[in-house]
Structure 1
């Protein structure tokens, strides 16, 4: 309460100067003595061992006063409590004739200072604190939320019928509204008590000053225990309302004059949650699905030209967007069949394909080898552009793991395009593949046209062009081509490998289970395990003799 200063000033101006000086000295000593007092720790400001503990810092008080939106809270226990708070003020039977809302700091302690000149004894000011998870942007339920109010006093001035009444209420996970539980500070010298429910016109169990002969009005700016009342919420809450009004139990209704209280957020607890998020997206780099062409291998013209974001394993909005139908789960990397129980915390209106899952720190135990595994059913977007499993690089002190994205494309947007061309020749031992041009017919050069009427004993040279259209390399590329064999798959004759010898830089040779056939033998032509660089082409050649029988 604030009205003391006005009545004191009127009294001093009517006294002789000597008495004024003596009075000023006494008042100075009084305020010095009172200022030497300090706030008492809120008995409810405690957390269990599995919880992270936080309270508002001095910068948090300042930032909240100066903002009408959600504010990131610095008192976040080194990131373990991803808290945002939005503060709003509302009036009933107002607005106040004059008023302010500021931060007061006494010593090392900060508090919100709510000053009001209420127009009537029935006026009410409410301050709402809404708690939100700054990662998920959904309500966050804090445990053991504890607050204290100061300067809750009783009007000794008969011209003022306003006696401070402060009610703390909160909203639980079930949507119920509960009042803060009174935390006794009587042993520390507090005159504040819970307001009896039987008193008229009170909305709940709030705090007020005892009406006794020893009751005194509180000093103007202080955070002292004598006028301090503390509460703690017995259930987790996602918001708190601080309601400041008149106790309303006097029979006379007079001008309430100037009123003020201070309040602090002493404590909140939270079981740290690890949050993993990302999006499953169409990694087509802006190529719409209807334009996709599984056989298009031209990298300089057409739909696949100048596409730096196509099939690059990176989510590139706005060209690329999410796709629905996938499931992402948290698993042990050593055995991805082992899935941890998680909770989806994806907010309403999130983009298609987005996911966000949360797991309490207490669930993990000592298991820290964590992977996110993406899967889907059906045949849409069957080709991955990223691995199905991502090791998230877990650290016990890192709580947010964003941008764990998984890319997919439709079948026609696959990265690898293989084109097989053929050229009829007379089996020269020194056939120079590089000198053979592409042609419309296999009689004059490498061609994709069909061969008709080839004479037995001639040779067919093959050029297989592997085009990597993607912007990432293709690892573990192995090209295999099975030579035809009479009686297999309707073949009428058997083909064998012919000179020139296979290039040892490309092919597996020399015998063995995976070796390509030797000259004059039938079998499977097989390359080594190769890498196709991004946006590149590579040609593979071999010659076969057609029409022999075995």
Structure 2
């Protein structure tokens, strides 16, 4: 390998043409070496090889001319680079001059020439420094593999000590981020010797050919540098230097492709109706030459705009690399990190946004992108907010859009237009109101100055106006002679009129002008040779001195597009002639208004959908969506179906539907689970309908929606629609709530408190022979509710989980009643549930229950109402169980206890000691009877009968201790239950 390298070194001493020949001859010999050392270049002016992650750059020819312009003025000039404009590189050239030396740079076609003169010292040096900067922010730019070539390194030694000569020496260094480094030699001409980064001639030779390769030194830097310095001086061989010159060129540099991005945002429209939804598209584009990572996208919240959660990738962007989308909270909070964007790709998302801003406002929505090494960029979209029913156009004056009705006030009624019965105007009146089929149209003049008597007037004026509402002013200078305001008590799709004889006259000293005060007006059909414009084209004025007449008409139109009911349409008229006196007049000027018209759109309807609470079914396999449809007239294909999950409703409104006059329309809603029809009764529904046309005769419904059990739909009807109607209906659903109701009642069967007797065991006849008494059922004919209790809906297995608690009503006919309503979502997954009735009074009036305190309810699918969950109570005197105790005396030898004579009265004392008579030493048999006089069984009955016992230490105790003589207590004598009766 060493021999091959040395042999190639010897080749480099040959001329260029021989060099190429010798290389061809040695191709086979050095093939293996070339394969193992590809960085070796065979050309005398090689460029360094750039790493795969970088791009190669090279000075263009005209870059040297630009570089010369930066000579010693600290001016950085942009370098085109290769490929062009892919790196923001700028370069400054500074040449330090030694005292008494003159340095003169000039340009060649592909290089820069530096000529130096000076004879004071033999070792003077000149430093040529190229500094690299990022032209976008003027910071140092470190370029890798920077390669340069220096030419004309030669020598001329004088023959005498007084002769002039030179012996060039060039030292090349670069500056890295950590300090200076020296260059690596990549090529040296046959006349060049080098010691590391110092180059000088090895023989006495003069290079006279431009870019002579024999006097060339080529170098490159192994590390990135932000500047390169070529120090040009003499060797020690020359004592009195003469003129010197060198040429240099920049052969190569490598750079990492710059990061670059851009952002756009638009919804494709300039205006939008309030309460509508628009789709903003945000697009982030990789405009650089390398993959973009870690871009933060933000789209802050804006008042009047509300993002929907259904953000999607934009499918219309063919370069879109979007696979994941941000959430609303991410966009409006800390930001969303966009996935990698490859070169030539973009990231585009579509954000549905609800517009709640008021009519007439402007909403501006701005999105931003940021990156750790790039400047933040933003993009905005602005919309003016109009009525939800905005329509109409002023592009064609004095006509109405197809299907719209024209209303006309004037002498030349267009076909199909509606005109008021009376179109007169009382001379001198400043206002009048006209009625068109109940629609009110009012014209009024105000701020009147210099008006002649008898005006306003209606009619024709000879040589000036025809069939017009005329105004005649004396010609004092006045910014406003009068103001004309029109109002219509309907939303109009268009309004306008004709202006006649607005002109100028030098003798009369007037230049008439008219200004549009109400925004949105349009001036049209005017003669360009008679009028000029100002005030952003909102003021039209006559041009000096063009005077109009009926035979030389200069009429023009004023028109507005859509505006809501009772919008004031205002224009002002004035005389702007500068020489007109403000106190006197040499003339008068007349102008007129005619052919007033306005248009009403056919009745319009928009239906909106809202959801209060989460969907009942909300899984991927079964999710409730709502379909709204309007039928009637010739409307077809107008239904819309919501999207969204949980409580979010997307696609929540119909389009603006044009209706027919005097026609009824039915709005129907149903719920769908995919393609399966659900039951709308699973949702409660309310609706509101409003009409912007307040004086409309259209019937807006107020009754509840009609439920169709067969179709499982709800609907309501709008009747008698008319022109100008702008109807908005909003249907709001909420998941059907579970309702639990009942009563806490006095289960006395109608037995009054006075009749109640805790000792009355007779249920065969009399008071307690009553089938409704104590039966656990609320018998509405005889029983009433009682106050004082609360009822709670709880978890059956964990009563501490309380879903709702309700105190029963405590007055009037509703006493004792309760109703608990709980959202279906609250009880999701909890089945059964339990109702618990409690009375926490210390001494409740009705202490004894006739029903259990806890009732379990099994929830049935699609069933939401659970009624008659009643709880019964009675007073103490109406207790179900009556205990009776009787006694009989005996001689303690009886075994047939049933044959004894028992008495409920106290025993008497005698010598017989039989039955009701007792004497000392005998026994007493007790008979206890428990009677269930209620109409329900009593379970788990426990009876105790404790014998008296004497305690000598307690004088209050009985004096005698009773002991049980017989019989022995045995099991099976008593059962555990008492049946009713």
The alignment's TM-score, normalised by the length of structure 1, stands at 0.47
Structure (1 or 2) with the larger CA radius of gyration: 2
